[in-house]
Amino acid sequence: MQTEHTQHLQSIETHFDAWDRYKRIVENNYMKHRELYTHLQELIDQLLSRPFSMLELGCGDAAVSAKVLTNTAITSYKAIDLSSQALALAEQNLANLTCTKTLIQGDFLANIKNETENFDIIFTGFALHHLQTPEKQIFLNQCKKILKPDGLIAVIDIFRQDNESRDTFIKRYSDNSQRLYHAISAAEKAASLKHMQEADFPESMPSFKTLITQSGFSKILKTVEYEFHGFISFL
């Protein structure tokens, strides 16, 4: 018998194995990838000029991350994602990085619980909202354990408005995509909405900051919010 958690993971994997759809979303900048990953680039350029290791959780095809990491001092890159299709693309997109690379297919929360390495930066982009609030706390607690003493964490994700319900956010997000995601078909938009209803549990930025504090992190480095999406870094 499938557990609720297994069904939840299958919904995520099915959604992102429709990778052509997500690629068009990124190319058209519907989710503010350009702006958000610029903040990641600036963070790395400013604080990680020395050789560094990186763990990316929910890496997808790593296309944008590969561009960010080009010409940096990265020596080791490790990434986890549910989608075998995405990881096959990630291997291609990361080919020009000369650092050590390890790509793992699986549930990033389960994998991070068993992680034995330590990292200078842990990054997750548009993946953390697939965890419910108690799981996000577990995630942050584990990140604290495997982060090097001077390491940092960066998160790009969807965020609800403060005091906005999950259902209201999903409706508002869906309505926005119906209006503006012109490169995505009606059937694809319906599939995306179904995925959100089944598998998306976004925090508000204030609620996520509370989780960060509860996990023992001491400093928020930067917070940027757009209408639906945001960037936050902390240590």
What residue spans define the domains of the chain?
4-234
Instruction: For residue 70, give the 3-state DSSP assignment.
Output: coil
Q: Would you say 205 and 162 are in contact if contact means Cβ atoms under 8 Å apart?
A: yes
Residue 226 is predicted with a pLDDT of 97
Average pLDDT by stretches of 10, the chain with 235 residues:
48 59 94 98 96 97 97 98 94 97 97 96 98 98 97 98 97 97 96 95 98 97 98 98
Look up residue 90 and give its amino acid: A
Cα distances from 127 to residues 49, 158, 159, in angstroms, run 26, 9, 12
Q: What is the dihedral sign for C-alpha 111, 114, 116, 119?
A: positive
232 forms bridges with which residues in the sheet?
155, 223
What are the structure tokens assigned to 223, written together?
Answer: 């917070």
The model carries a pTM of 0.93
- What number of H helices and E strands is found in the chain? 10, 7
What are the structure tokens assigned to 42, written together?
Answer: 């600036």
User: Is 4-234 assigned to CATH 3.40.50.150?
Assistant: yes
Q: Would you say 182 and 194 are in contact if contact means Cβ atoms under 8 Å apart?
A: no
Cα distances from 181 to residues 35, 157, 178, 184, in angstroms, run 17, 18, 6, 6
Distance (Å, whole) CA 79 – CA 103: 5
Look up residue 133 and give its amino acid: T
Cα distances from 129 to residues 55, 69, 93, 165, 212, in angstroms, run 18, 24, 24, 14, 14
Strands 147-158 and 119-125: parallel
Q: What are phi and psi of 173, to 5 degrees?
A: -65, -45
Q: What is the dihedral sign for C-alpha 99, 128, 142, 155?
A: positive
Residue 3 is predicted with a pLDDT of 46
Q: Would you say 183 and 20 are in contact if contact means Cβ atoms under 8 Å apart?
A: no
